[in-house]
Amino acid sequence: MYSRAYKSVASIPPLLWVGVFLLLPYALMFVNSVWAVREGLIVHQWNWDNYKTLFTNPLYAQVLFRTMRIAASVTLCSLLLGYPLAYYLAFHAGARKDLLYQLVIVPLWVSYLVRGYAWKTILGSDGVLNGFLQYFHLTHEPVGFFLYSPFAVVLMLTHIYTPFVFLPIYAALEHIPRQLVEASQDLGAGSFQTFWRVILPLSMPGLLAGATFAFVLSLGDFLAPLLVGGPSGTMIANVVQSLFGAAFDWPLGAAISVGILVITISLLFLSEILEKRWAFK
Amino acid sequence: MSASAANPPEQSTTDGAALLEVRNVAKRFGALDVLKNISLNIASGEFLTLLGESGSGKTTLLRLIAGFEQPSAGEIWMVGERLDILPPYKRRVNTVFQNYALFPHLSARDNVAFGLRVKNTPASEISGRVEEALGMVKMQGFAAARPCKLSGGQQQRIALARALVNRPQLLLLDEPLSALDANLRKQMQSELKSLQREIGITFLFVTHDQEEAMALSDRIALLRDGALEQVAPPREIYAHPATAYTAQFIGQTNLLRGEIRGSIATCGALRWPLEETDGPVIFSLRPEAIRICADGKRQTNEVKCRGSIRQQLYGGSSELLEVDCGSGQTLRVRIPACGPLTGEHEFIFSLADAVRVQE
């Protein structure tokens, strides 16, 4: 057993970390959100007008709605890519498992920005993809919507977050005792029935964790829309960024941030509850 | 290797035709010969036990029959149908796994219903059959519980019900009782035996515990290093072990090594007349076949020797003595409990109890 003194000393660093890097910034952000801007200056005057704007100005609701739609698309696409990949690696890859696993992980070591610019090069009007399509006469002029569109944002974010979805699903699948798969086959279930009735339910906690990663990380992303989104692909984080930058309306930006924070935390709670419901020993 | 291995003795099979035929089956994992040319018939309604040490290949043979492994050579047939080419889910065989392998996300009832659901059995029929199966193993009261809320013995029962509800032609049991404590184990053994008699399903039971094998089986198939050593009913395999290995593995025995010369068998300090050709010889003599000769009298078909008691182990109803007969010959003797013994005594056994065995 550890002594009381040891326990108190050991808990100082994490508490300090949470306090300085999480609670303090959140508190500052919240305080900012109830201030106001008068004649280009932030005045410390307690009011809820920023939150009113958030609910009454349809522009913000529209961007927020688009952001959630993009995040949902990214989640869906990375699940559709990540789950089969994880399933193959966990059950059928055999000796190639380690190599393939490394290949999935390697992109995580490449800078986010580099990957963003790579997509620009691929999707642009004179990019790789359009060049390819024209070379084979599949199209006659550059296709415009590849770049600077919600499509491009979804594509890039899916590329970036698929490993995050893959990892928890793979971990969950690896932990399923192989004897359960044999038991299922023994009781007359073919591959599909075994997947549907045994493997999918038992990998649910991993699937939820992966989906939460993809959705929450996409929700707060501002680099992908900045690089490949264009005006039609603007997301809520870009609005916040511009409010803190050129528009110089920190209070409104802070109010939006608090809104996103509330959504994110609610989602994390929900996923936590669902994961617990699906967790089995 | 005994001659009876490939052809189980006629009298030892129970009534009914062969349900399962294992024909010259071999299994290799890389360079390792796990099973070597196994042939074995299982009669319908029989309780057959595959007995052997760990690594003897008994679980591998079970997995070949269940369909989780493919034989490297040979065939497996079940009532006129070739089994080894079918995937596991198409075989009318069910398995009770060693660690039960219950689905953790399903209640006991849903675990039992699993096999019926995947075969699209009508819901009305499922509920009846599930209740019936839960009744067979006396687990109706736990139908709603998740496996993690059940004790080892209860999980065992659910695993059994989950297999039996499918009415398999053959039930495979892979060391199903090995995870239970001693008392529960004994209780489950007797329940398993009476259950098998009641429902009449053929059981193929794997264990490394020879007492369990003796108590439960109609026949025992003893495996050694991937080959069948002997296949016989428990009483026969105990009374007439074919090899020294069998004699030592099934129960306790004294292996008397010696030779025959001029119709006299000599094993250390022991000598008796025997009309056999000359050569080296091994006899198996069970400890309980030897007794203390109180009056010093000896019949013609008995062998007597003097020995000093080196050790006495008290076992409740009986005593196990370790007796030094001189010439380096030690005998283990089991006699009814009689209180502490010391010094030299005369021991006697009947010639019929010294069973000649192969190396």
Longest dimension (CA), chain B: 77
Predicted confidence pLDDT, tens digits, chain B (359 residues): 444 444 444 433 444 578 999 999 999 998 899 999 999 999 999 999 999 999 899 999 999 999 999 999 999 999 989 999 999 999 999 999 998 999 999 999 999 999 999 999 999 999 999 999 999 999 999 999 999 999 988 999 999 999 999 999 999 999 998 888 888 889 889 999 999 999 889 999 999 999 999 999 999 999 999 999 999 999 999 999 999 999 999 999 999 999 999 888 888 888 888 888 899 999 999 999 999 988 777 888 888 888 999 999 998 999 999 999 887 788 999 999 988 888 888 899 998 899 999 98
Residue B146 at interface with chain A, using a CB cutoff of 8 Å: yes
Write down the pLDDT at residue A199: 96
Write the residue in A180, A186, A190 that is nearest to B66 by C-beta.
A186
Per the CB < 8 Å rule, is A183 touching B95?
yes
Nearest CA in chain B to A188: B89
Which residue from B minimizes the CA distance to A198?
A: B103
Pull the structure tokens for residue A215: 């959705």
pLDDT, position A36: 85
Number of residue pairs across A and B with CB atoms under 8 Å? 68
Q: Does B166 reach chain A within 8 Å, measured CB to CB?
A: yes
Helix (H), strand (E) at residue A277 = helix A250-277
Chain B nearest C-alpha distance from A97 (Å): 20
Residue-level pLDDT at B130:
96
Sign of the Cα torsion B216, B219, B225, B229 reads positive
Using the beta-carbon criterion (under 8 Å), do A188 and B119 form an inter-chain contact? Answer: yes
Give A280→chain B minimum CA distance, Å.
6
Q: Do B119 and A179 touch (CB under 8 A)?
A: no
Q: Which residue of A has its CA nearest to B164?
A: A187
| Residue B244, CA atoms < 13 Å, CB-side half-sphere | 9
Residues 52-91 of B with CB under 8 A from A: 66-68, 87-90
pTM over 0.90: no
Check the CA dihedral A16-A17-A21-A27 and report its sign: negative
Cβ <8 Å between B118 and A197: yes
CB contact under 8 A, B101 and A180: yes
Cα torsion B33, B38, B44, B47 to 10°: value is -60
Chain A: residues touching B (Cβ < 8 Å): 177, 179-180, 182-190, 193, 197-198, 201-202, 278, 280-281
Using CA atoms, how far apart are residues B132 and B134, in angstroms rounded to an integer? 5
Q: What is the pLDDT of residues A39-67, one digit of tens each?
A: 778 888 888 888 998 888 898 889 999 99
The answer to whether the Cβ–Cβ distance between A186 and B88 falls below 8 Å is yes
> How many other C-beta atoms are found inside a 10 Å radius of the C-beta of residue B10?
6
Half-sphere exposure of B122 (CA within 13 A, CB side): 3
CB under 8 A, 24+ apart: contacts of A269-272 = A271/A208, A271/A209, A271/A211, A271/A212
Q: Which residues of B touch A190 (CB under 8 A)?
A: 87, 89, 118
- Identify the band that residue A130 occupies on the pLDDT scale cut at 50, 70 and 90: confident
User: Which of B95, B105, B146 is nearest residue A186 as measured by Cβ atoms?
Assistant: B95
d(CA B83, CA B170): 12
* Chain A residue with the nearest C-alpha to that of B146: A280
Q: Measured between beta carbons, which residues in chain B are less than 8 angstroms from residue A280?
A: 104-105, 146, 148
B149 in A contact zone (CB under 8 Å): no
Cα–Cα distances in angstroms (integers) from residue A170 to residues A13, A83, A99, in the given order: 32, 8, 14
Interchain CB distance below 8 Å, B97 and A179: yes
DSSP characters over A32-63 = HHT-EEETTEEE-----HHHHHHHH-HHHHHH
Q: Rounded to a whole number, what is the distance in Å from the CA of A273 to chain B's nearest CA?
A: 16
Q: Residue A281's pLDDT is what? A: 52
